Amino acid sequence: MPTERLINALQSYGVRLADSRAGAPSRRGGAGPSDHKAMTIAGRTVMVPVHTEAAFDSPFLVRRPDADGVSVIEHDGVVIGQATFPGRPRFYALSTFDGVPYSKIAVLHGRDVLATTVLQTCIRYQNRAKTCQFCSIGQSLAAGRTVAHKTPEQLAEVARAAVLLDGVKHMVMTTGTPNATDRGAAVLCESAFAVKAAVDLPIQAQCEPPDDDRWFERMKASGIDALGMHLEAVTPEVRARIMPGKASVPLERYYAAFEAAVPIFGRGQVSTYILAGLGDAPEAILEMAGRLVGMGVYPFVVPFVPISGTPLESHPAPGPDFMHAILKPLADMLAQANLRSADIKAGCGRCGACSALSTYERAGVAA
């Protein structure tokens, strides 16, 4: 099976792990996709669901690692590949000067990405009617696995250690939305400024479009190299159903914000996250992707993962054929436009671990 199809299938079905202790600790809850474990397959480090309902019944089983740390992957009992697991990061053993474990400030994503949610609270998460139905930003906070507000000093300290001890290559800073004005841009600016003062690490910041486009200049001046403003869903009906609060920001505001941000951060350095499998047809996602690519925005399309404890925990994940119908033409579209994940300075598009998209990009280049 080609690597991109294998990764696609593993991300759709999830896997059963013979040894759940293998590799770095898996992510449970938190902002964005969760309930995954990082594993490396054919040189690509990807996040594969392991704690979802579907994963418990997955036809894929990852065996216990051998003495060299290599695990075989079986499909219905037939060996189809092998995987290794990135190890537990060394910076997880440390605590900040004020006594907070580093792992509550930021975590390792994929193989070499430091990820943090600066504000673990969100105006949209206050009640079930407004919350994004896929999101579990409050779960890890309630479980005590993180702190509500990571200070600039804490972030700088952890980022420096993660670079020195674990060789992280870039950083993702996301945030819950604190207000309906700057929408988190201000706290991202102060965080990025402190990290950049401590260590030379490319940073992607992620937030909703702020009310004033001048924030993009300020973000860039603070040391933010790349920007993510995440659509999640692309049609008005699905947006209203899946993220009733966030859908109050109209698509037109996103388009205007993309237009304003691309000249500041550069073509391909502004991206958006699109969750496939929530109701948008492949054609609708590809149509939106075409519009975004035309603006110089990288559309990072990711299979939806139903996270335990969220309103969508029983919603099915998209099948591999559904994802293939999007990712293959999308990779071709990106190649034609000369937009490459590898050229993104920092962030989810560069990491690529939550989707097979970048593997499709490479497969297209190789072909």
Q: Would you say 24 or 247 has its CB closer to ligand SF4?
A: 24
* Residues 6+ positions from 164 with CB-CB distance below 8 Å: 199
CA 172 to chain centre: 9
Please state the closest distance from residue 72 (CB atom) to ligand SF4, in A.
24
Q: Would you say 110 or 296 has its CB closer to ligand SF4?
A: 110
Q: Would you say 75 or 299 has its CB closer to ligand SF4?
A: 299
Q: Would you say 110 or 306 has its CB closer to ligand SF4?
A: 110
List residues binding ligand SF4 (CB under 6 A): 32-33, 47, 109-110, 113, 115, 172, 348, 351-354
Q: Would you say 96 or 174 has its CB closer to ligand SF4?
A: 174
* Residues 6+ positions from 119 with CB-CB distance below 8 Å: 148, 149, 175, 176, 178, 184, 187
Any idea which residue has 């992510």 for tokens?
A: 27
Other C-beta atoms closer than 10 Å to the C-beta of 243 total 24
Residues 215 and 182 sit within 8 Å (Cβ to Cβ): yes
Please state the closest distance from residue 109 (CB atom) to ligand SF4, in A.
3
Q: Would you say 306 or 352 has its CB closer to ligand SF4?
A: 352
Tokens of 86: 């990135």
Q: Would you say 11 or 222 has its CB closer to ligand SF4?
A: 11
Please state the closest distance from residue 272 (CB atom) to ligand SF4, in A.
12
Q: Would you say 63 or 270 has its CB closer to ligand SF4?
A: 270
Note the residue count of the chain: 367
Please state the closest distance from residue 325 (CB atom) to ligand SF4, in A.
21
Please state the closest distance from residue 132 (CB atom) to ligand SF4, in A.
15
Please state the closest distance from residue 354 (CB atom) to ligand SF4, in A.
3
Q: Would you say 276 or 353 has its CB closer to ligand SF4?
A: 353
Residues 71 and 37 sit within 8 Å (Cβ to Cβ): no
CA 343 to chain centre: 17
Please state the closest distance from residue 135 (CB atom) to ligand SF4, in A.
13
Please state the closest distance from residue 107 (CB atom) to ligand SF4, in A.
9
Please state the closest distance from residue 142 (CB atom) to ligand SF4, in A.
20
Tokens of 197: 């003062």
Q: Would you say 48 or 261 has its CB closer to ligand SF4?
A: 48
Please state the closest distance from residue 129 (CB atom) to ligand SF4, in A.
26
Q: Indicate the pairing of strand 16-17 with strand 113-117.
A: unpaired
